[in-house]
Structure 1
């Protein structure tokens, strides 16, 4: 099976600038994670994920737990599907402003310590390495995969809601967008 399901994490207990740098899920986030697992497990046997991959951040690991448990597996942790790296010169408190600016442009225009176009391509490559998986990731990483798979240069390719499920196909090491997940109605930052 070449299908890959990328799930944005559930609603976290706090946001950037909150009490925790790596928050887990709140009650609604845990319900969202359980709903995503039920949706994935209801797929026909040949389409159901058979591997679980997660960003190392707690909100993704906690979102992945119900799916991993349902499949009787341990989630594989892969930092390549984690959060976008913040430039070293930007204090944590300024990260939301930096991201808002990045969301207004193309990957090649994002300012920072690294080549963010290359980072977006590395996210898409990582996702393509897991055919048959459910991958639990983040808003920006999911946008990176969608941008690369659809040939778009924009950072904000879409606004995935918490626990929305975006479907890709992985063919010959390439990622092909099949269906975008449910979009958020609220602000991310």
Structure 2
């Protein structure tokens, strides 16, 4: 059974919604180095990353240790903001406090959650997966059969471990948690 190490990106240089694709802050770069040292102990030889800069920069030190670039996987990217949303923070706060069945969750987001699960189930070897808060929660929700959007609060550079048997995801270990800050 492959083990999947879901790593939330390090601290970004800008808050959510303030910049379309921020990289990492100085602390975020330090977190990426620290998590790379920790991940080296796993033996995982493959890595994938969200296409967003903060995930790719978090993956950088691990990629360097493995002497390979991460495969970019759009299905583990950040949550898609619904069309026509003007107040992104209010929208995200409402989404995160609800369930995947709520009216605010449109079919595109439900499909996005499904695609995250499909992307992870397609991985046949132990893999490092650099992703985002809501995407990691979507995967954990699928593994635990929870319909809540926020199952837990993964901190920056936290590592959540899942496995799978080809049919369904299984939760091995939740990553370290932190407070949610959208400001």
Partner of 2:168: 174
Q: Does 1:97 align with 2:90?
A: yes
Partner of 2:10: 10
TM superposition shift of 1:24:
0.2
Partner of 2:25: 26
Q: Number of residues paired by the alignment?
A: 181
Give secondary structure in 2 for the equivalent of 1:108: coil
TM superposition shift of 1:110:
5.1
Distance 1:30 1:99, change over 3 A: same
Give secondary structure in 2 for the equivalent of 1:42: helix
Which consecutive residues of structure 1, in runs of 5 or more, have no partner in the other structure? Answer: none
Q: In the aligned structure 1, how far is the partner of 2:3 from the partner of 2:127?
A: 7
TM superposition shift of 1:113:
4.7
TM superposition shift of 1:173:
3.9
Give secondary structure in 1 for the equivalent of 2:154: coil
Q: Does 1:55 align with 2:50?
A: yes
Q: In the aligned structure 2, how far is the partner of 1:188 from the partner of 1:156?
A: 14
Partner of 2:181: 188
Q: In the aligned structure 2, how far is the partner of 1:89 from the partner of 1:104?
A: 20
Instruction: Encode CA deviations 1:88-135: one digit per residue, 9 max, x unaligned.
Output: 1113xx111111101121112152553433321221221222231100
Partner of 1:78: 73
